Amino acid sequence: MRFFESGKFQPQGTESEVAFSNVYRWITATDRIRLLHERHGRDQPVWLFDLVPDSASHALTAAHPHICGSDHYTARLELNEEGFDLLWTIQGPRKDEFLHYSYR
């Protein structure tokens, strides 16, 4: 399944919005969902992480962080009645961010 996303966001502490677009590929397996980013095109997807069941909740969490330079990307997928939310945490020397994606 491929999601084509676009929109605008306003980084905390700034006054201007930044346009973005992404193509994410979601691959389901029996025990996980693999998330890839098609930043280099459909034929060269970048693996981000595998989302696996979290035994302490009804969510899926990244089995291992995605490392980009010195920054670490993790995520948590939470189901709700209208769809699901993907909560990103990005930490490192260049980034300290929390992103909330709502899929409806």
pLDDT at 12 over 80: no
pLDDT at 57 over 80: yes
Query: DSSP class of residue 39?
Result: T
Pairwise CA distance, residues 73 & 94, whole Å: 12
Count of structural domains, the chain: 1
Domain containing residue 72: 2-10+19-103
Considering 46-50, 56-60, 95-99, the range whose residues carry the highest mean pLDDT is: 46-50
Provide, rounded to the nearest whole percent, the portion of the chain with pLDDT above 90: 74
Residue in this structure with the two tokens 């979290």, named with its chain if needed: 54
Rounded to the nearest angstrom, the gap between the alpha carbon of residue 103 and the centroid of all alpha carbons in its chain is 11
Mean pLDDT of the chain: 92
